[in-house]
């Protein structure tokens, strides 16, 4: 066995060991929280125990094998709905892969049928960035709100639909565009000398392993989807149990999600190790065709335009609230649910508040919180990545092992889907520091979002540095990647904060926030669609501008990877 084979074998053993350590660490953390949770929530539960159960029943709050509210076995409850969730996860994956194949095929046809001219290449590249960035940046909960509105408004959407199929199709759109990014990156990095069948097998393998690594985002999609469909699985249960402080069921569901995510990612990583070994030992693929120099086709003017849009959004966030026609929380029930008019350009909400004033303040909350949080996260993530540099310089199995040990905290945090971890941490903060009350400051939400996205920012730095052109050392690559990581991190924080507020776990209702505005009860939307049009358009535009700016920076700064944004969703 040669040295390369030994290194690959050690890498596979190390991945298995790290997966086991990650599962053990998460289990120990959840187990350690049991005693403190019991002490903190016992009073709150004593007041709310009888709302959903027989007043004559009493349950032992130290018994974590049963629900604290219904007395039902945790095992029975989870096993009953696990099949529904696994089915939804599989459907999301299948639909996303099928949609990705169609989009990549259409893109290949367009590329073949159009003449190879410099200006046309630039135009196609810009259109690709626009489509992919817009699709990948759309929050899943925004799609869910639109589906729920159409289903209630027209009773049947589309005519005679299969509700599960259509909800799966629309909710999988962001994942589809992330896979399109991976597919495009794979195609442009392949050599034309290898057989077409080999290139196609390589593309299929890359897409399959990528979707396995995105299993955390699929779980997030399923959680939002299960708020819409009739058959509720573990995602809907998790939301309900955290809201009701039913921790035995909530922790059990979280543990199931951790097992699914860790084992699926392990399968993807082992597959990549085996695939890398055998493709390097054959001539099917060009050896190290892995790092060709990709021609830059994004014009500098386009990057300047994107940065200008970004500056405009930040300017609106800073000065916009100063120009609002009404106070942020000025309530007037006499004009509630009024349509747009001269006095209220975007109408009023169910409490009679001016929607334009709410919108401008919501943009301020999301944008400035995202920028401040991203700045702090990038400083810490950059230092963390620099530490990894010392071990990468060794370039042997020992350096690889030390690198994995340093990055173990990242793997532990990323073993929970970002939404699951956010909701769990917000719930813990509420019972530990606020007595179960809603958080009354965006600072606490930003702090939690920063902790969740920090290890993912480190992952972004790793990926960008790995795919950068040769000639710079790792430290220089890390510094060069900081603008990209900052932009994507800020966009990720905006999604995190708006997602929590949408589900009712975010900031207090007195603090305007775009996700919270999108969470308006659907019964109001049937007669007043303008309630969500403003926040939906603003949130989509904000995220699209941030993401497309990051993608343009990727190409202009010489990075080969086109799938960095998806790191925030893993």
Backbone angles phi, psi at 62, to 5 degrees: -90, -5
Q: In terms of residue numbers, what domain contains 469?
A: 3-329+345-569
Q: Is residue 335 part of a domain?
A: no
Task: Specify the pLDDT at position 374.
Answer: 93
Among candidate residues 527, 505, 500, the one with its CA nearest the CA of residue 515: 500
Q: What is the mean pLDDT of residues 60-72?
A: 77
Q: How far, in Å, are 126, 132, 357, 470 from residue 301 at the CA level? A: 11, 19, 34, 26
Higher-confidence position of 362 and 340: 362
Is 387 part of any domain? Answer: yes
Q: What is the mean pLDDT of residues 53-67?
A: 61
Residue 161: per-residue pLDDT = 46
Average pLDDT over the chain, rounded to whole?
A: 80
Q: What separation in angstroms does the CA of 569 have from each of 138, 218, 370? A: 12, 9, 15
Distances in whole angstroms, Cα of residue 185 to Cα of each of 181, 190, 539: 6, 9, 27
pLDDT at residue 447 above 70?
yes
State the pLDDT at residue 565: 87
The torsion defined by the Cα of 376, 129, 198 and 469, in degrees rounded to 10, comes to: -50
Q: What is the pLDDT of residue 116?
A: 63
In a domain, 199, yes or no: yes
Model confidence at 561, pLDDT cuts 50, 70, 90, reads low
When mean pLDDT is compared over 25-34, 180-189, 194-203, 321-330, the highest value belongs to 25-34
- Of residues 234 and 431, the one with the higher pLDDT is 234
Determine the pLDDT at residue 118.
65
pLDDT in tens, 266-310: 999 888 888 877 776 443 333 333 444 445 567 788 889 999 999
Please report the pLDDT score of residue 523 as a whole number: 66
Average pLDDT (439-463) is 86
The tokens describing 376, both together, are 């702090």
Residue 171 has pLDDT above 80, yes or no: yes
Domain assignment present for 363: yes
Q: What is the pLDDT of residue 41?
A: 64
Q: What is the pLDDT of residues 133-155, one digit of tens each?
A: 888 888 888 887 777 666 666 65
239-267 tens-digit pLDDT: 988 888 888 899 999 999 999 999 999 99
> Which pairs with CB-CB distance under 8 Å and at least 24 residues apart come from 147-150?
147/171, 147/228, 148/228, 148/522, 149/522, 149/525, 149/526, 149/529, 149/532
The residue assigned the tokens 């817009």 is 134
Res. 201: pLDDT tops 80:
yes
- Give dist(CA 251, CA 74) in Å, integer: 10
Which DSSP string do the residues of 96-139 spell out, in sequence order? HHHHHHHHHHHHHHHHHHS---HHHHHHHHHHHHHHHHHHHHS-
pLDDT band per the 50, 70, 90 thresholds, residue 436: low
Instruction: Tell me the per-residue pLDDT of 506-548, one tens digit each, with 9 for 90 and over.
Output: 877 788 888 888 877 666 766 677 777 888 888 989 999 999 9
Predicted pLDDT at 49: 44
* pLDDT at 468 (0 to 100): 55
Say how far apart CA 192 and CA 10 lie, in whole Å: 33
**Peptide bond before residue 426 is cis, with ω within 30 degrees of 0:** no
- Residue 121: phi, psi to the nearest 5? -60, -45
Q: Identify the residue whose tokens are 């573990």.
A: 234
User: Which residue pairs from 157-164 have beta carbons closer than 8 angstroms and sit at least 24 positions apart in sequence?
Assistant: 163/229, 163/230, 164/88, 164/91, 164/229, 164/231
Residue 336 lies in a domain: no
Site of tokens 């510094």:
479
Number of domains, the chain: 1
List pLDDT tens digits, range 21-54: 989 999 998 888 887 776 666 655 554 444 444 4
What is the model's pLDDT at position 39?
66
Indicate whether 339 belongs to any domain: no
Q: Torsions phi, psi of 173, nearest 5?
A: -60, -45
Residue 161 counted as domain residue = yes
Q: Is the backbone of residue 441 left (phi > 0), alpha (psi -120 to 50) or beta?
A: beta
The confidence band for 58, taking pLDDT boundaries of 50, 70 and 90, is: very low
Q: Exposure pattern of 500-524 as b/e (b: 16+ CB <10 Å)?
A: bbbbebbbeeebbbbbbbbbbeeee
Residue 158 has pLDDT above 60, yes or no: no
Question: What average pLDDT does this structure show over 445-467?
Answer: 86
């Amino acid at each position: 066995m040669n040295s390369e084979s030994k290194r690959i074998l050690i890498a596979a053993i190390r991945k298995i060991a790290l997966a086991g350590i990650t599962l053990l660490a998460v289990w120990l953390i959840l187990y350690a929280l049991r005693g403190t949770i019991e002490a903190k929530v016992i009073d709150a539960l004593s007041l709310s125990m009888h709302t959903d159960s027989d007043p004559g029943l009493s349950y032992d709050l130290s018994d974590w094998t049963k629900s604290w509210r219904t007395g039902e076995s945790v095992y029975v409850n989870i096993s009953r709905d696990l099949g529904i969730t696994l089915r939804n996860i599989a459907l999301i994956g299948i639909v996303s892969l099928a949609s990705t194949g169609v989009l990549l095929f259409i893109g290949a046809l367009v590329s073949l049928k159009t003449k190879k001219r410099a200006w046309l290449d630039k135009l196609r590249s810009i259109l690709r960035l626009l489509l992919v960035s817009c699709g990948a940046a759309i929050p899943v909960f925004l799609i869910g709100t639109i589906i729920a509105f159409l289903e209630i408004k027209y009773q049947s959407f589309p005519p005679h639909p299969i509700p599960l199929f259509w909800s799966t199709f629309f909710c999988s759109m962001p994942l589809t565009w992330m896979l399109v990014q991976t597919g495009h990156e794979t195609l442009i990095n392949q050599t034309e000398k290898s057989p077409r069948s080999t290139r196609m097998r390589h593309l299929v393998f890359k897409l399959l392993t990528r979707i396995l690594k995105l299993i955390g985002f699929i779980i997030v999609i399923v959680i939002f989807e299960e708020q819409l469909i009739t058959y509720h699985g573990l995602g809907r249960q998790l939301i309900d149990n955290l809201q009701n402080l039913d921790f035995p069921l909530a922790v059990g569901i979280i543990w199931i999600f951790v097992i699914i995510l860790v084992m699926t990612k392990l399968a993807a990583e082992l597959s990549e190790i085996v695939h890398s070994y055998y493709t390097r030992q054959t001539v099917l693929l060009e050896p190290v065709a892995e790092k060709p120099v990709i021609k830059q086709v994004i014009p500098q003017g386009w990057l300047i335009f994107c940065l200008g849009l970004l500056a405009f959004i930040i300017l609106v966030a800073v000065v916009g609230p100063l120009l609002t026609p009404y106070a942020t929380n000025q309530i007037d029930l006499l004009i509630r649910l009024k349509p747009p008019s001269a006095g209220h350009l975007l109408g009023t909400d169910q409490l009679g508040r001016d929607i334009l004033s709410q919108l401008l303040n919501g943009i301020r909350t999301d944008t400035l919180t995202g920028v401040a949080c991203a700045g702090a996260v990038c400083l810490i993530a950059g230092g963390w990545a620099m530490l990894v540099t010392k071990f990468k310089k060794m370039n042997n199995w020992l350096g690889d092992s030390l690198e994995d040990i340093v990055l173990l905290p990242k793997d532990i945090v990323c073993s929970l889907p970002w939404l699951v971890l956010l909701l769990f941490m917000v719930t813990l903060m509420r019972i530990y520091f606020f007595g179960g009350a809603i958080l009354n400051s965006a600072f606490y939400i930003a702090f939690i979002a920063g902790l969740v996205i920090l290890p993912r920012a480190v992952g972004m730095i790793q990926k960008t540095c790995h795919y950068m052109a040769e000639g710079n050392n790792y430290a220089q690559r890390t510094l060069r990647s900081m603008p990209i990581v900052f932009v994507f991190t800020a966009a990720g924080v905006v999604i995190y904060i708006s997602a929590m507020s949408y589900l009712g776990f975010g900031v207090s209702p007195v603090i305007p926030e775009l996700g919270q505005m999108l969470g308006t009860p659907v019964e109001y939307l049937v007669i007043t669609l303008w309630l969500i049009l403003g926040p939906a358009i603003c949130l989509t535009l904000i995220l699209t501008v941030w993401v497309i700016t990051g993608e343009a920076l990727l190409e202009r700064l010489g990075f080969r990877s086109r799938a960095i944004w998806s790191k925030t969703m893993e």
